[in-house]
Structure 1
Amino acid sequence: MRRPGGRARAGLAGLALLLALVSTGTRAAAERILALAPHVVETLYAIGAGPEIVGAVSFSDFPEAARALPRVGNYRKVSVEGALRLRPSLAIVMDEGVVGVRKLREFGVRVELSHPKTVEGVLRDIVHLGSLTGHEDEAEQVAAGLRERLEALRLGVPERPPRVFYEVWHQPLITAGGGDFISDALTRIGAQNIFASLAGDNPRVSVEAVLRARPDIFIIPGESRDVGERARAWRELMEDPELKVVEAPHDLFHRPGPRLIEGMEQLQAELRRALASDDGAP
């Protein structure tokens, strides 16, 4: 009598054997990459390693070519069997604790981490991914170009940085803590994150804590919410109909990859407009 789960285990074992046979090929062969975070997909395409990606996860939507990649999971879980069918040699992950990642390693897939915590870390990560994939020169060029744009951003920092509240999410209320690249990006564009002293990436905060801090500007990403509605809610809570609210380009600003700098450029321009105008509409 076959034990429950035996067929699934046999299937995984067969896939592992196939993977091992593929892995014995020439070392000079291109990697077969599982890009298990949207920013990893973007970075690999930016440095010329896009054709080496064989699988991705949900929300990997840039560049356009990425939309056609097979999906093997999301930010919570990777389908091990589905991933192994793609015969990967390398998995690049944002979190090694995601369900399924440990199994991939057990079946012989090399696992590398990509989780930058600062803007400088994003640039270093681009170079690191170039080294992993044999695209060192392209990665160095991309990083150098982004450094030049960061210098231009530095020149645009206001003398008196506005105190800002960044609403990562609204239910529950989550912000960018001091351990997150978003907080560092805010500092670099000339904004003072009122919760930069909080540990961690995305801590929960109370409405009362936000009201006590009295930020000058509220920054609200347009991700799965009505920014105008959120702006009205905060103006009512703050008892300030002229409260300045700006929208963050979430698809750029929430991913620690090469397009983060574009998001910083856009948000800095929005903050400048908000500071120059009494119109608080988003």
Structure 2
Amino acid sequence: MNRLFLALMLLIFWLPSHALQIIDDRGVKVTLAKPPQRIVSLLPSLSETVCELNHCARLVGVDRYSNHPASLRALPQVGGGMDPNIEAIVALKPDVVLMSIASRASERLEALGLTVVALETKSHTDVRRVLDRVGTLLGVDDAQRVWRVIDAGVSAAAQSLPPKAKNLRVYFEVNRAPYAAGAKSFIGESLQRLGVQNIVSPELGPFPKLNPEYVVKADPDLILISERNFAGMLQRPGWAGIRAVRENRICVFPAELADIVIRPGPRMAEGARLMAQCIASKGLSQ
């Protein structure tokens, strides 16, 4: 008993009083002696979350797509979330690396002695949870204040649309494979709150890869797509007959606006407003 008591006391004294623990979205328990002061982020939405929680100064490196706020563009870029430059990350000596659970780099980074926190941000619920996880890491007491602003902004965007928007059938393409924003994605959930109908069935998942014929048969009233993915869309077999194409009901978001709409983070309310503007100007104007 005395040995057990001594071991417990040593463990208590060994761990700093301000040590923190979180369980990331892999189910991995991550323990840090103190809030990290040097952070590398490999996902734009996570970079934006750190900054929105007023700790942008702790970021020492980001992926090539992290561009908001503008100050991030001055930081070292360490590749992409799926193809990170491991040597560049190690050279930055981060206390923690934030990344998507979809990345395969976590094991390599951990084998090199780095601490990894992998997070999932596909739905509104995911965004709320990630805010809490990142807030805990940063030592922020009320990270949910950011969600309350997002939630209120999405509601305001929905209230800006008339009831007839409910009759509108919408297709949102996130990648020209084509991958779509399904009903269970954060984009699909925002569209649902805006009151429109998503042509992609919920059972297909958050971001399903579709056969282009699926969209032709669904015949959406409105298409939303980024400028970077728009090239060649109108030339797909059968797409000229889609109502949205025939009647020019297509919203093509330039790159800087597309980034807002497709990132599941602090700017989601702004993304909802952009989609509401699209619905009002293209979907309901004819």
TM-score range (shorter-chain normalised) is: 0.7 to 0.9
Pair 1:183-2:191 in alignment: no
- Supply the AA of the counterpart residue of 1:150: V
* TM-score of the pair, normalised by structure 1: 0.78
**Equivalent residue for 1:73, pick from 62, 65, 79:** 79
| Aligned sequence identity (%) | 26
Q: Is the 8 A contact 1:49 1:135 kept in 2?
A: no
Q: Is the 8 A contact 2:221 2:283 kept in 1?
A: no
- Supply the AA of the counterpart residue of 2:263: R
Match of 1:50 in 2: 56
**Equivalent residue for 2:269, pick from 243, 261, 272:** 261
Match of 2:175 in 1: 169
Q: Which aligned pairs between 1:1-282 and structure 2 lie closer than 5 A?
A: 27-28=33-34, 30-95=36-101, 97-137=102-142, 139-156=143-160, 158-159=162-163, 160-170=166-176, 172-223=177-228, 225-226=230-231, 230=233, 236-238=240-242, 241-248=246-253, 249-278=257-286
Match of 2:11 in 1: none
Q: CA deviation at 1:124?
A: 3.2
Q: Is the 8 A contact 1:78 1:101 kept in 2?
A: no
Two-structure CA RMSD over aligned residues (Å) = 2.6
SS in 2 for 1:223: helix
Structure 2 unmatched ranges of 5 or more: 1-31
Q: Is the 8 A contact 1:177 1:201 kept in 2?
A: yes
Distance 2:219 2:34 in 1: 57
Q: Does the C-alpha gap of structure 1 residues 235 and 205 become closer, same or farther in structure 2, counting only changes over 3 Å?
A: closer
Q: CA deviation at 1:161?
A: 4.0
Q: CA deviation at 1:195?
A: 0.8
SS in 2 for 1:34: strand
* TM-score of the pair, normalised by structure 2: 0.77
Structure 1 unmatched ranges of 5 or more: 1-25
Q: CA deviation at 1:44?
A: 0.6
Match of 2:13 in 1: none
Q: Is the 8 A contact 1:190 1:268 kept in 2?
A: no
SS in 1 for 2:246: coil
- Supply the AA of the counterpart residue of 1:269: Q
Q: Which moved more, 1:65-74 or 1:26-35?
A: 26-35
Distance 1:202 1:265 in 2: 21
Q: CA deviation at 1:265?
A: 0.8
Q: Does the C-alpha gap of structure 1 residues 136 and 247 become closer, same or farther in structure 2, counting only changes over 3 Å?
A: farther
**What does the per-residue CA deviation read over 1:17-38, in whole Å, with 9 as the maximum and x for residues that have no partner?**
xxxxxxxxx9446431111101
Match of 2:29 in 1: none
Q: Does the C-alpha gap of structure 1 residues 140 and 185 become closer, same or farther in structure 2, counting only changes over 3 Å?
A: same
